[in-house]
Amino acid sequence: MFCLRTTSTTATVSNTTDRTARGAAATVSKTALVAAAAMLGVIASAQARDLTVVSWGGNYQDAQRKIYFQPFAAKLGATVLDESWDGGYGVLQAKVKAGVPNWDAVQVEAEELELGCSDGIYEKIDWSKLGGKDGFIPAGVSDCGVGAIVWSTGMAFDGDKIKDGPKTWADFWDTKKFPGKRGLRKGAKYTLEFALMADGVPTADVYKVLKTKEGVERAFKKLDALKADIVWWEAGAQPLQLLSSGQVAMTSVYNGRITAINRTEGKHFGFVFPGSIYAVDSWVVLKGSPNKDAAMNFIAFASQAENQAKLPEYIAYGLPNIAAAKLVPEKYAAELPTTPDNLKQAIALDVGFWTDNSEELSKRFNAWLAR
Amino acid sequence: MRPDLSHRLKAALLLAPLLAFMLSFFVVPLVTMMKSAVSDPVATEALPRTARALSGWNRTDTPPSSAQTAFADDIRALKNDEQFGDLVRRLNSAQSGFRSLLGKTRRALDGSSATDLASIDARWSETSWWVTIAEAVASPWTDKNLLAAIDLERDAAGSITAMPEGASANRLIMIRTFVTSALVTFACILIGLPYAMVAASVEGWRRQVLLGAVLLPLWTSLLVRTAAWYVVLQDNGLINATLKGLGLTSGPIPLMFNRLGVVIAMTHVLLPFMVLPIFSVLIAIPRNLMPAAASLGAHPLRAFLHVLLPLSMRGVVSGALLVFMAALGYYITPALIGGANDQMISSVIAYYATGAANWGMAGALGLVLLAMTILLYAVYMRLTVEEQRA
């Protein structure tokens, strides 16, 4: 609507100019005004865009498209655009501070939820639309976000190439027993925890050790030993490619993608749950989103038990909706991070630790990486 | 209207779109980023009472008790969540732990008149947290980011010192960025100069094909070209498979996740910016110069060194500048093809902007890069002016 009004107003102005003043100057100014109007039109029409949902790409987003995005678009009778990102709080903050964000519903990691909620860059969730907070696991409930998945980061290997696979992070560090490169997600988070576990810190004490200066030194020292053999990845789909091509012998990876590629491409990749770290990703709506209502409706749709329960068939992530988790067939349940057997030796990501220390440790990590 | 004035007005109007474009897409963002590097108004604006209470404090003794009251009042008065978020980010960036400390303190102060902060969290009785606050509220301007961009900081006494070993590697990464860019530029000259000479020496369809081969990749997305190199260079990729198939190597040669891979991929991507300027200089050179040199008895090599090469140098100089400047800002190619030791300064800037939301540091690093680039540009201007005079 804004677009139409701008164009017509400008047209009137240029007509008046044409009548009162004659000569080249008027023509030039008219051209400039028309050009400006055209530019404004482009900018304005960009604002009246379709609902844009942002997730983490790869085979995970393929599954979401099938069970959430497309059915919701059909229900809405409108287009739903989906984009992917690889995290980063600054991305969201910049979009909100710029005025009207070009993303609406975004799946964020736990500390992005925490940071953004205290900074006020997300819209508040109306939990009555979602059937109340009691229907969700506690980590999936926040003023600003609704739990989307429970997911794990752990090590994976190609079962066709390594018969007796690695069991612990110490095995991951053992390049004599398991020759080949190692893939890790580029960043301090997860990497430091894994290094401590490889150095023999019991899973229960990882964050206790990491909270001390000596613990951080210890983690970096352990990383020094493996540094030359590490290939760093950033997007969630990269480790699968690295593993498939044989570029790395083992890699850290998001657990669901392993089961998904095993099912769709007949691979025999193994995922090691002991020593893995699990966390909850949440859906948020960016503040000032022009499609706020549609985005909230989308989140409600994606959080409904019968819709969420379809996810494990495609990708093995745990479900924050308690009723949905009960609907998952047993054959898929065994591969979820939320299954008691898989939870046993896994640890929960310490969100508070990372919101406090992320910047300092990232700086240290980047400096370590560059040397 | 006097004709003179109307002419000027016309000229100004014709330039208006350009000026508007330059202003909104060049000057404003540049000034904003430069300002963000040195401006630090968050704490001063959010904590005015604390600033007054801490102004006379020597930063070594226990802070005055009035500071606690003032700080509690300031936090209670902060109603804007975004402003509070900015404050938290500013303080936590200087000292890890402020995020949880301030969150807890704000919740405890909300709706209560308590002033004894130490009873809310024991950390408030430690001096170090107050020192960080005192530094943050001291002035709305700071040189902290600019110093940190080149691995320097101010010690407790306020004098500039080097950061502790391992805390930051910006200088190293900056040098690496320049070295990698220089390597790429050199490789581009090595390939681009003979290529442009061949392209300029042939006519008709041969020239079209040669130029097309350079131009075509320019129309392909940078990401696609980089991804293609990823496929070609990997351990089981095209090159290694061929070498292995021919029996030349037993194991894969590491072509990726190292400097070699980055230089190969970046050279390919940036080659057009070298070939085109040299080509445009070469086709303007009269074709009878080489035969003339030969008729005077010059050996072809000598004719090349003394006639053709000096004449094509202008193209090489501008091509080298284009390639070098573009290479300085490369981000995607080193990130995908390079290893940990090949990341360039843009990836650090990107981390501060998109990861940490620390625009001050992103701006400061950008400013340092800009300053060095301008320095190089000044050198280039000197060179070309001398060239024209000669």
At residue A365, the pLDDT reads 93
- B278 and B369 in a single domain? The answer is yes
Distance CA B335, CA A288 (A): 33
Chain A neighbours among B 227-266 (CB < 8 Å)? Answer: 234-236, 256-257
Answer yes or no: is B5 within a domain: no
Structure tokens, B359? 């625009």
Burial class (CB in 10 A: 0-12, 13-18, 19+), B311: middle
Residues of chain B positioned with their CB less than 8 A from the CB of A110: none
Whether residues B100 and A356 touch (CB distance < 8 A) is answered with yes
- The DSSP string of A213-245 is HHHHHHHHHHHHHHGGGEEEE-STTHHHHHHHT
Residues of chain B positioned with their CB less than 8 A from the CB of A90: 352-358
Whether residues A94 and B357 touch (CB distance < 8 A) is answered with yes
- B341 and B208 in a single domain? The answer is yes
**Total structural domains in chain B?**
2
How distant is the Cα of B24 from the closest Cα of chain A, in angstroms? 13
At residue B379, the pLDDT reads 80
At residue A27, the pLDDT reads 44
Per the model's pLDDT, the better-predicted residue between A207 and B7 turns out to be A207
List pLDDT tens digits, range A319-359: 999 999 999 998 898 889 999 899 988 999 999 999 999 98
Answer yes or no: is B244 within a domain: yes
Residue A235 near chain B (CB below 8 Å): no
Answer yes or no: is B346 within a domain: yes
Whether residues B167 and A352 touch (CB distance < 8 A) is answered with no
How distant is the Cα of B51 from the closest Cα of chain A, in angstroms? 23
Residues of chain B positioned with their CB less than 8 A from the CB of A101: none
Positions in chain B short of pLDDT 70: 1-3, 384-390
Residues of chain A positioned with their CB less than 8 A from the CB of B99: 355-356
Q: Are A363 and B167 in contact (CB under 8 A)?
A: yes
Architecture of domain A51-150+280-340: 3-Layer(aba) Sandwich (3.40)
Burial class (CB in 10 A: 0-12, 13-18, 19+), A37: buried
Query: Which residues make beta-bridge pairs with B153?
Result: B161
Q: CB-based contacts of A78: which residues, under 8 Å, 6+ apart?
A: A50, A51, A294
At residue B390, the pLDDT reads 54
Q: In this structure, are strands A230-233 and A347-348 parallel, antiparallel, or unpaired? A: unpaired
Q: Are A256 and A130 in contact (CB under 8 A)?
A: no
- B258 and B189 in a single domain? The answer is yes
Nearest to A370 among B14, B98, B341 (CB): B341
Structure tokens, B65? 């008790």
Q: Which residue of A has its CA nearest to B345?
A: A370
Residues of chain A positioned with their CB less than 8 A from the CB of B234: 245, 247
Chain A neighbours among B 6-25 (CB < 8 Å)? Answer: 6, 9-10, 13-14, 16-17
Answer yes or no: is B275 within a domain: yes
Answer yes or no: is B6 within a domain: no
Nearest to A366 among B84, B96, B348 (CB): B348
A152-278+347-370, CATH topology level = D-Maltodextrin-Binding Protein; domain 2 (3.40.190)
**pLDDT band at residue A184 under the 50/70/90 scheme:** very high
- The DSSP string of B325-358 is HHHHT--HHHHHH--GGG--HHHHHHIIIIIS--
The residue ranges of DSSP E strands in chain B, in sequence order, are 152-154, 160-162
What single letter denotes the amino acid at residue B302?
A: R
- B331 and B277 in a single domain? The answer is yes
Whether residues A119 and B172 touch (CB distance < 8 A) is answered with no
Same fold, A51-150+280-340 and A152-278+347-370: yes
Whether residues A368 and B166 touch (CB distance < 8 A) is answered with yes
Nearest to B356 among A118, A245, A362 (CB): A362
Nearest to A32 among B16, B99, B352 (CB): B16
Q: Residue ranges per domain, chain A?
A: 2-42, 51-150+280-340, 152-278+347-370
pLDDT at A17 over 50: no
- B204 and B131 in a single domain? The answer is no
Residue A362 near chain B (CB below 8 Å): yes
The domain of B48 spans 42-138
Work out the average pLDDT over A287-291: 94
Answer yes or no: is B232 within a domain: yes
At residue A8, the pLDDT reads 34
pLDDT at A13 over 70: no
pTM exceeds 0.80: yes
